[in-house]
Structure 1
Amino acid sequence: MTPLFARIVVLLSGAAILIVETLATRLVAPYVGLTLESTTAVIGVALAGIAAGAALGGRWADVVAPTRVAAGALAVGGLGVLAVQPLVRVLGPAVGAGPVAAVLLVAASTLAPVAALAMVTPAVTRARLHSVDGSGAVIGQLSAAGTLGSLAGTFLTGFVLVALLPVSMILLVTAGSCLLLAMATATSRTHVARVGGAAALLAVALVAVPGRCDADTVHHCARVEAEGPSTRVLVLDDLRHSAVDLTDPRRLQFAYTQRFADAVDTAFPTDRALDAVHLGGGGFTMPRWLAATRPGSTSTVLEVDRGVVELGRRELGVDEIPGLDVRIADARTALAELPAASADVVVGDAFGARQVPWHLATTEFAGQVHRVLRPDGVYVLNVIDADPMALVAAEAATLATRFGHLALLVRPDQLAPGGRGNVVLVASDRPLDLTALAERAAARGEPDSVVGDAGVRALAAGASVLTDDYAPTDQLLGG
Structure 2
Amino acid sequence: MGPWTAALLVFGSSAAVLVVEIVALRLLAPYLGLTLETSTLVIGIALTAIAAGSWLGGRIADQVDPSRLIGPALGLSGVVVALTPVVLRSTAEWAPGLLLLIASLTILLPGALLAAVTPIVTKLRLTSLAETGTVVGRLSGVGTFGAIVGTILTGFVLISRLPVSAILIGLGTLLVAGSAVIELRTRGWRGTAALTLVVVGGGLATTVAPGACDTETRYHCARVVADADRDSGRTLVLDGVRHSYVDVDDPTYLEFEYVRAIAAVVDTAFPAGRPLAAHHVGGGGLTFPRYLAATRPGTRSLVSEIDSGVVHLDHSRLGLSTQSGIDVRVEDGRLGLRRLDDAGHDLVVGDAFGGVSVPWHLTTVEAMADVRRVLDDDGLYVANLIDHGGLAFARAEVATLGATFEHVAVLGEPADIGLDPTATSKGGNLVVVASDRPLDLRATQEALDARGTGWKIATGADLTSWIGDARQLTDDYAPVDQLLQPYRPQSTR
Aligned to 1:54: 54
Aligned to 2:490: none
Question: C-alpha separation between the residues in 2 aligned to 1:457 and 1:128?
Answer: 68
1:188 and 2:187 equivalent? yes
Q: Tell me, what secondary structure is at the counterpart of 2:415?
A: helix
For structure 2, list consecutive stretches of 5 or more residues without a partner in the other structure. Answer: 418-422, 488-493
Question: C-alpha separation between the residues in 2 aligned to 1:212 and 1:197?
Answer: 23
Residues 411 and 431 in structure 2, CA contact (< 8 A), matched pair in contact too? yes
Q: Deviations over 1:79-127 (max 9, x none)?
A: 1110111111111235659xxx774353033221111111111111111
Amino acid paired to 2:273: D
TM alignment of 1:98-247, pairs within 5 A: 103-186=100-183, 187-189=186-188, 190-228=190-228, 229-247=231-249
Aligned to 1:409: 411
Q: Quote how far apart the aligned CAs of 1:418 are.
A: 4.0
Aligned to 2:18: 18
Q: 1:331 aligns with which of 330, 333, 338?
A: 333
Q: Deviations over 1:266-295 (max 9, x none)?
A: 100112011111111100100110011111
Question: C-alpha separation between the residues in 2 aligned to 1:470 and 1:103?
Answer: 29
Amino acid paired to 1:146: G
Q: Deviations over 1:156-175 (max 9, x none)?
A: 11111111222222223322
Aligned to 1:28: 28
Q: Deviations over 1:180-224 (max 9, x none)?
A: 221222123312222222222222223442433111111111111
Q: Quote how far apart the aligned CAs of 1:19 are.
A: 0.4
Aligned to 1:270: 272
Q: 1:466 aligns with which of 460, 469, 473?
A: 473
Question: C-alpha separation between the residues in 2 aligned to 1:170 and 1:188?
Answer: 30
Q: Deviations over 1:391-424 (max 9, x none)?
A: 1110011001110001111011334434111000
Amino acid paired to 1:177: L
Aligned to 1:291: 293
Q: Quote how far apart the aligned CAs of 1:447 are.
A: 4.0
1:475 and 2:477 equivalent? no
- How many residue pairs end up in the alignment? 476
Question: How well do the aligned residues superpose, as a CA RMSD in angstroms?
Answer: 1.6
Question: C-alpha separation between the residues in 2 aligned to 1:105 and 1:191?
Answer: 25
1:69 and 2:69 equivalent? yes
- Per the alignment, do residues 96 and 343 of structure 1 end up closer, same or farther by CA in structure 2, a change over 3 Å counting? farther
TM-score by length of 2: 0.93
Question: C-alpha separation between the residues in 2 aligned to 1:180 and 1:69?
Answer: 15
For structure 1, list consecutive stretches of 5 or more residues without a partner in the other structure. Answer: none
Q: Deviations over 1:314-358 (max 9, x none)?
A: 100112211011110001011100111111111100001112110
Q: Tell me, what secondary structure is at the counterpart of 2:62?
A: helix
- Per the alignment, do residues 80 and 448 of structure 1 end up closer, same or farther by CA in structure 2, a change over 3 Å counting? closer
Amino acid paired to 1:324: I
Amino acid paired to 2:308: R
Q: Tell me, what secondary structure is at the counterpart of 2:69?
A: helix
Question: C-alpha separation between the residues in 2 aligned to 1:180 and 1:319?
Answer: 46
Residues 401 and 434 in structure 2, CA contact (< 8 A), matched pair in contact too? yes
Aligned to 2:449: 442
Residues 276 and 347 in structure 1, CA contact (< 8 A), matched pair in contact too? yes
Identity of aligned residues (%): 47
- Per the alignment, do residues 116 and 448 of structure 1 end up closer, same or farther by CA in structure 2, a change over 3 Å counting? closer
Question: C-alpha separation between the residues in 1 aligned to 2:199 and 2:303?
Answer: 44
